[in-house]
Structure 1
Amino acid sequence: MTGSSAPAGTFQLRAYWLSAPSLAAVFDALEPVAPVRVVGGAVRNALMGEPISDVDLATEAVPEAVAKAAHAAGLRVHETGIEHGTLTLVSQKVAYEVTTLREDVTTDGRRATVSFTRDWARDAARRDFTMNALYVDRFGDGIDFTGGYADCLARRVRFIGDADQRILEDHLRILRFFRFNAAYGNGAMDKVGLDASRRHKARIGALAVERICHELMRTVVAPNAAAVLRLVGEEDFLPGLLPGPYEIDTFTALVALERRIGRQPTPPLAIAALLGFDREAFEVAATALRFSRRDRARALDAIAAARFMPPHSLPQIHASLYEHGAEAFVDGLLVGAACGADLVDLPRLVEVARQWRRPRLPVSGNDLLEQGGEAGPELGERLKHLEGVWRQSDFSLDKMHLLAIDRRSRSGKE
């Protein structure tokens, strides 16, 4: 080990992805310049048997040296965060973030100024949780300066060093503490970290709403979210944004139903569930958290569709699918069931929705004009009337029958 001011524990990681050709090419390009190791989430998740998404690396080499070595090896280089020492290298169509070892110079709770270092212990010390400060080389030989290896095995989320100091460096770490407990924790939350989070919870208000929303969206879909969110709501960590206490039983029911039909929890629906699917309360929260138009509409459409659940006949199912669309229909089923609607045939109803293809009204405005009349509001009313009749027939009437109904209707008015 090079450039370390503190003793480190060691461990061994055996992971198939360490031998991936794309990652090997990155190691081959950078190791002649300086030591490089995988760090953070990939190591943490591998130790805990969780899925691996991105593989990030740390190196003693400065960004300019990393870029030069990568270019020489034929790797694409993107300056995604060069002001903080991060480059993205693309190897065989796989992106790897490579960050120079660094330490904080100044912090204000929202952003940090950093300087580069060759000291792996200093780089570890500036990170948030012990489980995120583990490094492994290409052979799986790991180094651990903070006790993160044992914490991973115990699924214990623990701040590195002084918890208060870590939070003062970046206030978002309070919400990350909750998210990591929801995602990886086992048992009671670390008391030291929780007490520090309580002391500084007012500082959450200084964060950008978008950062808060991003963390919240990831927390509500985590496996152990219910217990964590209960505490967040009861102790009002998000006043003015998502005030508690929350409807945890409704939230838990929704999450279980989503998993029952084979899908992962949907963040905007989960947040609506915490608010008891109260439309007005959700709209206030969606505005405060600056939800995307898509997320806001997803939950509101589901709440609207839930009013018609459960459907009592196949024509009612088809009518609801036509009115709301397949996605909102299924979401509405789940919302209705989470609120207590009797949906014993939920899997069958979901399958009907998945196979549904929205029919098209067999007649057009031009078809009606050929039978007489003029374009304008009257034509719109004629189309609307025929669509209603067609829907009442369970979408079975064809063009010929609908045109005949239109002719009879017009003759009756003349």
Structure 2
Amino acid sequence: MTGTTSPSASAFMVNAFWLSSPGLTAVFDAIEPVGRIRVVGGAVRNAILGEAISDIDLATEAEPHEVAAAAQKAGIRVHETGIEHGTLTLVADRIAYEVTTLREDVSTDGRRATVRFTRDWSLDAERRDFTMNALYLDRYGRGLDTVGGYADCLARRVRFIGDADQRIVEDHLRILRFFRFNAAYGRGPLDPAGLDATRRHKARIADLAAERICHEVMRIVVAQNAGNVLGLIGAEGFLDGFLPGPYNVDAYRALAGLERRAGREPTPALAIAALLNFDEAAFQSAADALKFSRRDRARALDAMAASRGMPPLSVPQTHALLYEHGTEAFVDGLLVGAARGADIIDLPHLVTAARQWRRPRLPVSGTDLLEQGGAPGPELGERLAHLEKVWRQSDFMLDKAHLLAIDRQLRQPKD
């Protein structure tokens, strides 16, 4: 049976070098004999926009058992990563490709969908979220567009497919995805129909798992054009109960700009701390509500703690702060301090120096001190702590012999 498309489908061309990569070529060669297969979604969108791609997903008329058999016959490894939804992961030339059979929704409950397979490309497109994500590309760069997504891509317009309310009812996470895609790819005002629909349904966000909300929020805050979108999210209470607004968008923009000038992309946890005006209690509350990882929580809190000592006023103080906080927290603290208004002269030089710094090791140990007398216990800990303090105050210049001499002098009986 031959697959079908909408009579209103339009074609376009894309020149993408990765279409002829060995792994993708092997997948096309293996699957095409049992069903037409095209690249779909983000890789197509980003190729049109001239942006980098991170992975390649494909859609096919072939059903999963046909895909698996054809791939295995061609020597391609097959993993049943989403077989209940028609998705297999094929590994060719050490690259993983998700291959999904064309589908249409049978029922949805806002969090998950029941689907059935189809050979109709337009039905598969219509179940997707935004027009720019429902574009298909064959191995020759010939595109298929049944929803007007190509023009929307060129205009950088994020638009729901069909009825925006229905798309949101099908999957409540699409409310936040609407904002994320605008932050990442959109330009100009948000699509009015889409924005109005998100407003009507924003209470549905509370039905989502905190981890799914967190995942979307973390991706919104690192997007290139997130400032205006975040201001709207905070002002209109889209995340009340998780990340309550209004947000300090100026602090967020300042920190994001500083991070990019420091040669790195914005750090999600730090961006959220900035939105909350670097209020540690508010950040802790948001971290609890969104179920941040321990790593994300600790990074932001360490950065805010380090920022209180910024800027260092001398080279020894710089070294002392690096020793106390570590390189990552020191650099984070520098950037947070600058975003909060600290006057940090030659910030790029300080960042470079911090990245080149290597943490020194205290030249003496408890064993060394015990050889000079005394017994294990609290007193030994106090002796070590005192010598570490003296060593730090010397800008880490005192060697083992000097430190042991100081310990002996302190242990001499007082007259």
User: How far is 1:357 from its partner?
Assistant: 0.4
Corresponding residue number in structure 1 for 2:163: 162
User: How far is 1:412 from its partner?
Assistant: 4.2
After superposition, where does 1:302-317 map in structure 2 within 5 Å?
302-317=303-318
Give the whole-Å Cα distance in 1 for the aligned partners of 2:145 and 2:397. 68
Q: How many residues align?
A: 414
Corresponding residue number in structure 2 for 1:300: 301
Q: Is the 8 A contact 2:242 2:286 kept in 1?
A: yes
After superposition, where does 1:14-53 map in structure 2 within 5 Å?
14-53=15-54
Relative to structure 1, is the Cα distance of residues 413 and 284 closer, same or farther in structure 2, using a 3 angstrom cutoff? farther
Corresponding residue number in structure 1 for 2:175: 174
Q: Is the 8 A contact 2:259 2:335 kept in 1?
A: yes
Corresponding residue number in structure 1 for 2:204: 203
User: How far is 1:344 from its partner?
Assistant: 1.9
Give the whole-Å Cα distance in 1 for the aligned partners of 2:10 and 2:3. 14
Give the whole-Å Cα distance in 2 for the aligned partners of 1:73 and 1:133. 29
After superposition, where does 1:99-138 map in structure 2 within 5 Å?
99-138=100-139
Q: Is the 8 A contact 2:103 2:116 kept in 1?
A: yes
Q: Is the 8 A contact 1:78 1:89 kept in 2?
A: yes
Corresponding residue number in structure 2 for 1:91: 92
Give the match's secondary structure for 2:412: helix
Give the whole-Å Cα distance in 1 for the aligned partners of 2:42 and 2:201. 26
Relative to structure 1, is the Cα distance of residues 395 and 123 closer, same or farther in structure 2, using a 3 angstrom cutoff? same
Relative to structure 1, is the Cα distance of residues 412 and 356 closer, same or farther in structure 2, using a 3 angstrom cutoff? farther
User: How far is 1:345 from its partner?
Assistant: 1.1
Corresponding residue number in structure 2 for 1:263: 264
Q: Deviations over 1:11-38 (max 9, x none)?
A: 1111101111110000000000010000
Give the match's secondary structure for 1:263: coil
Corresponding residue number in structure 1 for 2:359: 358
- Letter of the structure 2 residue corresponding to residue 355 of structure 1: Q
Corresponding residue number in structure 1 for 2:396: 395
- Letter of the structure 2 residue corresponding to residue 7 of structure 1: S
Relative to structure 1, is the Cα distance of residues 291 and 413 closer, same or farther in structure 2, using a 3 angstrom cutoff? farther
Give the match's secondary structure for 1:240: coil
1:279 aligns with 2:280: yes
Give the match's secondary structure for 1:200: helix
After superposition, where does 1:309-388 map in structure 2 within 5 Å?
309-388=310-389
Give the whole-Å Cα distance in 1 for the aligned partners of 2:105 and 2:179. 23
Corresponding residue number in structure 2 for 1:193: 194
Q: Deviations over 1:151-197 (max 9, x none)?
A: 00000000000000000000000000000000000100000000000
Q: Deviations over 1:345-404 (max 9, x none)?
A: 101100110111000000000000000000011100000000000000000000000000
Give the match's secondary structure for 1:182: helix
- Letter of the structure 1 residue corresponding to residue 316 of structure 2: P
Give the whole-Å Cα distance in 2 for the aligned partners of 1:296 and 1:347. 26
Give the whole-Å Cα distance in 2 for the aligned partners of 1:6 and 1:238. 41
User: How far is 1:7 from its partner?
Assistant: 2.9
Give the whole-Å Cα distance in 2 for the aligned partners of 1:5 and 1:323. 64
Give the whole-Å Cα distance in 1 for the aligned partners of 2:162 and 2:348. 49
Give the whole-Å Cα distance in 1 for the aligned partners of 2:252 and 2:8. 45
Give the whole-Å Cα distance in 2 for the aligned partners of 1:307 and 1:412. 41
Q: Is the 8 A contact 1:6 1:121 kept in 2?
A: no
- Letter of the structure 2 residue corresponding to residue 280 of structure 1: A
User: How far is 1:5 from its partner?
Assistant: 4.6
Give the whole-Å Cα distance in 1 for the aligned partners of 2:49 and 2:274. 29
* Greater Cα offset, 299-308 or 339-348: 339-348
Corresponding residue number in structure 2 for 1:290: 291
TM-score under structure 2 normalisation?
0.99
Relative to structure 1, is the Cα distance of residues 374 and 274 closer, same or farther in structure 2, using a 3 angstrom cutoff? same
User: How far is 1:2 from its partner?
Assistant: 2.9
- Letter of the structure 2 residue corresponding to residue 228 of structure 1: V
Corresponding residue number in structure 1 for 2:55: 54
Q: Is the 8 A contact 2:47 2:53 kept in 1?
A: yes
Give the whole-Å Cα distance in 2 for the aligned partners of 1:231 and 1:282. 19
Q: Deviations over 1:106-133 (max 9, x none)?
A: 1000110111111101000000000000
Give the whole-Å Cα distance in 2 for the aligned partners of 1:5 and 1:199. 31
Give the match's secondary structure for 1:221: coil
User: How far is 1:6 from its partner?
Assistant: 4.2
Give the whole-Å Cα distance in 1 for the aligned partners of 2:46 and 2:6. 27
Q: Is the 8 A contact 1:76 1:90 kept in 2?
A: yes
Relative to structure 1, is the Cα distance of residues 6 and 209 closer, same or farther in structure 2, using a 3 angstrom cutoff? farther
Corresponding residue number in structure 2 for 1:141: 142
Relative to structure 1, is the Cα distance of residues 180 and 228 closer, same or farther in structure 2, using a 3 angstrom cutoff? same
Q: Is the 8 A contact 2:6 2:146 kept in 1?
A: no
Task: Give 5+ residue unaligned stretches, structure 2.
Answer: none
Q: Is the 8 A contact 1:130 1:147 kept in 2?
A: yes
Identity percentage of aligned residues:
74
Corresponding residue number in structure 2 for 1:73: 74
Task: Give 5+ residue unaligned stretches, structure 1.
Answer: none
Give the whole-Å Cα distance in 1 for the aligned partners of 2:165 and 2:238. 16
Q: Is the 8 A contact 1:35 1:60 kept in 2?
A: yes
- Letter of the structure 2 residue corresponding to residue 142 of structure 1: G
Give the match's secondary structure for 1:88: strand
User: How far is 1:278 from its partner?
Assistant: 0.6
Corresponding residue number in structure 2 for 1:254: 255
